[in-house]
Amino acid sequence: MAKTQKSVRERLEAGEFRNKVPYLLDEEVKNAYNQDIAELEAQLSAIKERKKEHERSVRAEHNDEQYLLTAELRRSLEEEFSMVGHPKAELLWEKAWEEGHSSGYDEVVNCYEELLDLVK
């Protein structure tokens, strides 16, 4: 007995060429992934917040140190150039700072020395 073979059309209609592998994730798997993503996003957000807080702390510490160094520079200049208690000491410092601080402490000292003759 000869076996009859189905035509391509018959096989097509029978679903032989239909992909049986799902195209999309089922809802349970999709929800599990979404939950994992939400947890990771929460962890990332917490890490970013800790980083920001650490950066704020480091900047605050840096600024505190800079303030102390600037105060020491001023005190040292006033001492070295006999300006402690001088009525124009504040004005001299402010002008030297205003003119020089954007270029660094060296320039503040230069400006202080240049302006010193005007107040003595």
- The 3-state DSSP class for residue 74 equals helix
Angle at 39 between CA 33 and CA 40, to 5 degrees: 90
Calculate the CA dihedral of residues 88, 91, 92, 97 and round it to 10 degrees: 160
3-state helix, strand, coil in the chain (%, to 5): 75, 0, 25
- The C-alpha atoms of residue 104 and residue 70 are separated, in whole angstroms, by 11
The pLDDT of residue 90 is 97
Say whether pLDDT at 110 is over 80: yes
Closest residue by Cα to residue 105 from 80, 61, 70: 70
Contact between 46 and 54 (Cβ < 8 Å): no
Is the pLDDT assigned to residue 1 strictly greater than 60?
Answer: no
Pairs from 67-76 (Cβ < 8 Å, separation ≥ 24) = 73/105, 73/108, 73/109
Which of residues 4 and 58 earns the better pLDDT score? Answer: 58
Tell me what the mean pLDDT of segment 61-72 comes to. Answer: 98
Reported confidence tier of residue 107, pLDDT bands at 50, 70, 90: very high
